[in-house]
Amino acid sequence: MPETKEIKVPDIGDFTDVDVIEVHVSPGDSIVSEDPLITIETEKAAMEVPAPAAGRVGKVAVAVGDKVSEGSLILTMTPEEDAAEDAAPAVDTPAAAELSSPAERIVTAAEPAGEFSGPVDIESELTVLGAGVGGYTAAFRAADLGMDVTLVERWPTLGGVCLNVGCIPSKALLHAAKVIEEAESMNEFGIRFGTPEIDPGALREWKNRIVGRLTDGLDGLAKQRKVRVVRGTGKFLSPHHLRVESQEGEQVIGFKQCIIAAGSECSTLPGLPDDPRIMDSSDSLELTELPDTLLVIGGGIIGLEMACVYDALGVKVSVVELTDTLMPGVDPDLVRPLEKRIAARYSEILKGTRVTEVAAENAGLRVTFDGPEAPQPQLFGRLLVAVGRSANGLRIDADKAGVAVNEQGIIPVDRQMRTNVPHIFAIGDIVGEPMLAHKATHEGKVAAEVAAGHKRTFDARAIPSVAYTDPEVAWVGVTELEAKADGIDYGKGVFPWAASGRSLALNRDEGMTRILFDNVSGRVIGAGVVGPHAGDLIAELTLAIELGADAEDIGLTIHPHPTLSETVAMAAEAFDGTLTDLYKPKRR
């Protein structure tokens, strides 16, 4: 009969009675060496306790919420030579490029479009519908390649959602929030500031000046390139014609080729009252009022970013999220430091909870919840609805051009960004997830270059994502959730920022850098960072995936000291077994 072995908590330094926050195994599970058994959390960081060898789990002696110390029994295990094979069936592990590059999408033709035979006001070699980040990039690149370009934009200024009511203004307000919180955090170190006086009007004007500098710059770039800008809302009349309507009237543009860059809109919830106190993400940037209380509906990136802003400005913030986790789809170990910090600051975080009714009253908005731990109805000064975005494909009469659009408003495209109509391209949010400005930029360049006759395809191995919360959360490539679900044979290197001199000097040691490696090729397939400036650090890891780097490539690259960028090298060294800044027992 096989021998039963006890697996206990190893040396965890000076920490005792630490919390078990996750149990990764159940009785009967087959595990391999280095598989995580439990996750424990000290005052400084969360860490996984790995399996010392392969085997089959017998009795699990701990549960979430238990406290353990060095020597505490985790589980009993029957060693098995074949456990690795039982637990991880042989799979063909895709290369990083196959995991991360966009799939070839098959498009189906729409109904044959009619022809337009009316008068045409403007003839254009290439028309770009939408002047957001992707649209103006496509227009400028095409102009640089010698094409006659018309750029159609419904907003008074170029830049679309990102520059006007998205990426840029939100980051300005997040910077203001960061300054407030850093000043407050210095109290315990002998530098004390008074309570800040918030002038929402002045803050809004500063934010608008930043936006104005960028949009004015785009106007100048368009003129320098002789890009024709037409203001108004554009809709297709035929496969070669677009009607643009504005307050001044309407114009018809005839084109040889077109790039659709019409973006997306804020999604909303059905049944909400028509009340100015209910905001979408664009409204929330205006700081029309700083209410006493704010409920953010949606625990995704946009909702949590604006929650950080309003919290720092003195508003009592609550968050409600339909799923059981904040930022659904992001690895839990990356979200955990953020959730721990905001749970201590916000009034309430309700996960697995649905908003079933909102009633407008003079005193506020009364919200009714439903869920296992739903509270009684509560009154809030304002609501921010941040439940995602919907593509605009159904709002541009694409069927009149013969362009196929699915029920979600998404236009399928191939790797050259062509729709099912060969001379019409689509880029950005309107072609689907991930709806990110930096993805749209690269897609715009591909579409413009193909339209100009060049051989190009969109072939990104990885597209990074960033939540500019406090702390920031950034990730790229394969997530650990995906790796486990897909049966990928992977390993990981983790470096907790509690061991980083730079993070300690910032008084922000809750962060972590984690890199996933393909155990077959040794190459980086994914990475995640949580902590201040995580969004800046993720670029190096994106480049590592693009270049097919392995742990040695990163670890042997000399990083400046003391910096947060060192944590990238140290995470690689942790996987490679060469890390000296922490003691990690050799793998058996």
Maximum CA pair distance of the chain? 89
Give the position of tokens 């991930």: 434
Handedness of CA 141, 144, 145, 147 (dihedral sign): positive
Instruction: Confirm if 246 and 231 have CB atoms less than 8 A apart.
Output: yes
User: Cα separations (Å) of 346 from 296, 339, 385, 537, 564?
Assistant: 11, 10, 17, 27, 27
Q: How many residues does the chain have?
A: 588
Known active-site residue 533: no
> 493: buried, middle or exposed (CB in 10 Å: 19+, 13-18, 0-12)?
buried
Give the position of tokens 């006086």: 197
Which of the following is catalytic: 24, 423, 533, 561?
Answer: 561
433/439 Cα distance (integer angstroms): 9
Q: Pick from 285, 278, 304: which is nearest to 176 by CA?
A: 285
Across-strand partners of 367? 358, 378
- Coil, helix or strand at residue 201: helix
Phi-psi domain of 555 (left: phi exceeds 0; alpha: psi -120 through 50; beta: other): alpha
Beta strands in 211-345 (DSSP E): 228-231, 233-238, 241-246, 249-260, 264-266, 278-279, 293-297, 316-321
543/552 Cα distance (integer angstroms): 15
Instruction: Confirm if 170 and 285 have CB atoms less than 8 A apart.
Output: yes
Retrieve residue 497's tokens: 């920022």
User: Cα separations (Å) of 266 from 179, 192, 587?
Assistant: 29, 40, 49
Sequence-distant (≥ 6) Cβ neighbours of residue 463 within 8 angstroms: 100, 434, 436, 438, 439, 476, 542
Instruction: Enumerate the active-site residues.
Output: 561
